[in-house]
Structure 1
Amino acid sequence: MEIAKSIFREYDIRGIYPKEINENLMKQISKAISIKCINEGVSEICVGRDGRISGESLLNSLSSSLSEYGIKVLNIGLVTTPLLYFAAKKSNHKSGVMITGSHNPKNYNGIKLVINDSPVSGSEIYELINKDKSYTKEPAEIIYKDIKKEYIQEVKNNVNINKSIKIVTDCGNGAAGCIVPELFKSIGCEVIELFSEVNGNFPNHHPDPSKIENLSNLIAKVKESGSDLGLAFDGDGDRVGLVTDKGEVVLPDKIMMILSKDILATKKGKIIYDVKCSNALESIILKNGGEPIISPTGHFHIKNGINKHNPLLAGEMSGHIFFNDKWYGFDDGHYSGARIIEIILKENKKISEIESELPTIYSTPELNINVTDESKFKIVENFINEFSLEGEKITIDGLRINFENGWALLRASNTTPKLVLRFEGDSVSDLEKIKHDFLNELSRICPDIDINLV
């Protein structure tokens, strides 16, 4: 069987089902994972899957193959990625495999992997696939377990929700539907549900809250119902989107500002954020006595940063938020929602009032240019080498250039065949000039690219 190397990415494994990722490949991946586990002294691993149509079959293949290679399996079934991480944290060997296509189109699937409490890249697994390993004489045990009640109880014990609040949740027919309604009702919220039924065809909208167009139903329902806020989740529940009581979208770097102010009021420490976040986040962290650390984008890099720096909080512009102050340090969309509600009740203010106290930011959302997986990194490399505008260059992940009146970013997506851009200025005119000059430079250096921002 020919294996597509391109699906073994820096963060994880992700490809089209069944052309690039299928049950036969899952057996090969299971062998590689078992080799990694044995090298790490790990004999037991948790496994789960999101709501994609191919997920159940792929999980069965993964589970049985790991067992045949001698790894004891704790199968927690249909879950969000945070539930899988929670199960892994609670297990003896702190290891887990999540079958998920994350925010990719519905015909994709893939794997997120943590072994011995550390993330494992897809490229590392690829290097192990061709190594030899035989099945054990007797398959290891497979145990089936429902982790949701334990998780809900721990969240209830962790957050202080002392009165009812009305919220709208939009699970986008993703795996979050298996936990979000029950969780928020359990902590005392009045919950109006949108699209909680898990359906891998995503019939209502794609479960990606980083795209404003996917929030239109949520915005309308918050306004119509007079709710206190709206929460949206991606396909595997590890990212959150926030809509205020006025129906306005709060971008994730502003969510990070709200969370940073709250956490730093009682504890001082480090906060990690990715290269796509606003300069205003760094300023707020410093103003409130924290230590800001900028990171490459991607849960793989953020998790390694958490292991290295032990921050109180970490987050990305995509909506991944990692609480490490009184939670477990993994990205968890539904727990993030609970913490936002805790702040609203603690401050005794509407979320729109809390957001209005933050600096005014003149920025774009994340913008994309469609390219190919084969060309995207080379494009960024050429751009970095030939870029001629004056400014402070940060090249930990593509090129972020800080100007006196704002900044611009170009990086390659590690999960899709796209270039990722974002722009920010001190004023609307600064923003427009920075965007104009930066795109002109991109057009000069890379004339063959169709600069059609989406």
Structure 2
Amino acid sequence: MTKTTLTKPRAELRTNTLDFEMTPLVKPTGFREYDARWWFGMQGNDAAPELNFLGVQALGLGLGTLLQDYGTSRVVVGHDYRFYSLSIKQALILGLMQAGCEVLDIGLALSPVAYYAQFALDAPAVAMVTASHNENGWTGVKMGAHKPLTFGPEEMGRLKDIVLSGAFEERVGGSLTRIDGMRERYIADIVDDFKLSRPIKVVVACGNGAAGAYAPEALRAMGADVVEMDCTLDWTFPKYNPNPEDELMLKAMASTVLNSGAELALGFDGDGDRCGVVDDQGEEIFADKIGLLLARDLSSSHKNATFVVDVKSTGAYKIDPVLKANGARVDYWKTGHSYIKRRTHELGALAGFEKSGHFFFRAPYGRGYDDALVAARAILGMLDRAGGRVLSTLKQELPLTWTSLTMSAHCADEIKYQVIDKVVANYVALANTNESILGRAIRDVNTVNGARVTLADGSFVLVRASSNKPELVVVVESSISDGDMRALFHEEVKPRLAAYPEVGHYNQTI
């Protein structure tokens, strides 16, 4: 073992300079709670880049150093469909090889394809180059050392320390193998022996992202009648960012459903680990409600099953009569794919659901990681078993609640957690002094991930720090009415956050 010659990364460098070409740039805030994500830069955008190619190489060398410490060196790598992702992956591979890792490159992929490849290729580790649903100009890496789990705060903290301090270790024996045919193997595994009894007509919306190379073919093989929507790969994302929580994408999905007469639309994000749903009436059903429908369906044949949901999810899980009758247990946990993945594993849960559209199915339905196509298969299967009832009808059978879009207010990465700590303390103090919100008592404040404040009637407000962007995340839900849901935001959360000058504009509001 010898100390690497790669220099210690810098936190800031000016572009178009000698230093930018010769020195690794890695901004510390890019190391998130469970992912690594940086602004890489785009033409026409003046925002300073937070990472350069040498910085990516340093990240790979740091990751390889950490993987060796964990006793593994065999790692699957893949990349999403952005014009710079292949180059970033190659820089990452160079660093991994410097650390002595055996790199298995599966090429252009979805994140769940990389997770699947860990099992198919018997590789403990994964490094998937993707910015997920972030806009063009962002990049990042989803990493793990023990399938099917991905890194959490402890592993990310260790990686950050290694990279920023330059505490790399070079090893001999690094290698690179290109793995062909993983797309076909993955689709065959997803479809397996699943076959619909009737050709459910479904809009498949991919936002011109990488899912377009997977989803239409996979769903057709399941027996669905597929209506393609923006499935041609185009790394400029010409219409909207591939994000099934984005209002523009949802409206386009709704329009296509109504114009085509489809039973539903399924929308996929840029790396194919999230699925959004629009019903036969052109109405969005948030993923937490889809999760509740799936939990109802699955718990009928898996009595006393455990389901994990994130703190952004509807409170209807707790009061749903079907889940109660089937003995289901529901655990509310931290938002984030890594957190829910680990929690479902720790509790032996049958499945986990996030409001953002991550679905986690364990045996016999999946391997425990988030996979939008596994979710699509489960949704189609549920409809196939529904005795002719359409999705809008199934939705009407759920406990009635009114839930907001997921809204995000800008707040710098360097201060967002400090702001959230103040907001949490404020809500806890309100509960401890028996204060009310819009005339209703506070039943409890869940602080496992920000503040989820549940009122006496089951309505709630949630404020938390985004794990992967400089934002605060807001969700509100009312058990009374749509107007009350809007009042919870405009009369409670929005003015409360406005008291903090660090909180900026919202990406979308109700």
**Counterpart residue number, 2:16:** none
**Counterpart residue number, 1:319:** 357
Provide the identity percentage.
26
Distance 1:101 1:346, change over 3 A: same
**Counterpart residue number, 1:207:** 242
Distance 1:448 1:125, change over 3 A: closer
Q: Distance in 2 between matches of 1:344 and 1:89?
A: 29
Aligned runs of 1:17-416 on 2, under 5 Å?
A: 17-18=40-41, 19-117=49-147, 118-121=149-152, 122-129=156-163, 130=165, 132-157=167-192, 159-267=194-302, 268-284=304-320, 285-326=323-364, 327-348=366-387, 349-387=389-427, 388=430, 389-390=435-436, 391=442, 392-405=444-457, 406-416=459-469
Cα deviation code 1:327-353 (max 9, x no counterpart)? 111111122111111111111322222
* Greater Cα shift, 414-423 or 289-298: 414-423
* Greater Cα shift, 122-131 or 355-364: 122-131
Distance 1:407 1:287, change over 3 A: farther
What displacement does 1:138 show? 4.3
Secondary structure of 2:385's counterpart equals helix
Q: Distance in 2 between matches of 1:377 and 1:38?
A: 31
In the alignment, structure 1 residue 438 sits paired with structure 2 residue 474: no
**Counterpart residue number, 1:6:** 29
**Counterpart residue number, 1:417:** 470
Number of residue pairs aligned between Structure 1 and Structure 2: 454
Letter in 1 for 2:159: I
Secondary structure of 2:241's counterpart equals coil
Cα deviation code 1:295-315 (max 9, x no counterpart)? 010112112212311210101
What displacement does 1:210 show? 0.9
Q: Distance in 2 between matches of 1:451 and 1:16?
A: 19
Secondary structure of 2:424's counterpart equals helix
Letter in 2 for 1:373: D
Q: Scaled by the length of structure 1, what TM-score is found? A: 0.95
Q: Distance in 2 between matches of 1:265 and 1:94?
A: 34
What displacement does 1:93 show? 3.3
* Greater Cα shift, 122-131 or 405-414: 122-131
Q: Distance in 2 between matches of 1:68 and 1:306?
A: 35
What displacement does 1:90 show? 2.5
Secondary structure of 1:92's counterpart equals coil
What displacement does 1:20 show? 1.7
CA contact 2:57–2:93 (8 Å) conserved in 1: no
What displacement does 1:133 show? 4.1
Q: Distance in 1 between matches of 2:277 and 2:412?
A: 31
What displacement does 1:70 show? 1.6
Distance 1:123 1:175, change over 3 A: farther
What displacement does 1:439 show? 2.7
Alignment partner of 1:15 out of 38, 57, 78: 38
Secondary structure of 1:6's counterpart equals helix
CA contact 1:443–1:451 (8 Å) conserved in 2: no
The runs of 5 or more residues in structure 2 that have no matched partner are 1-8, 11-25, 42-48, 437-441
Distance 1:31 1:185, change over 3 A: same
CA contact 2:358–2:372 (8 Å) conserved in 1: yes
Letter in 2 for 1:438: E
Distance 1:132 1:402, change over 3 A: closer
CA contact 1:367–1:420 (8 Å) conserved in 2: yes
Distance 1:443 1:251, change over 3 A: closer
CA contact 2:254–2:282 (8 Å) conserved in 1: yes
Distance 1:433 1:190, change over 3 A: closer
The runs of 5 or more residues in structure 1 that have no matched partner are none
Secondary structure of 2:175's counterpart equals coil
Secondary structure of 1:347's counterpart equals coil
What displacement does 1:103 show? 1.1
Distance 1:10 1:443, change over 3 A: closer
Letter in 1 for 2:352: A
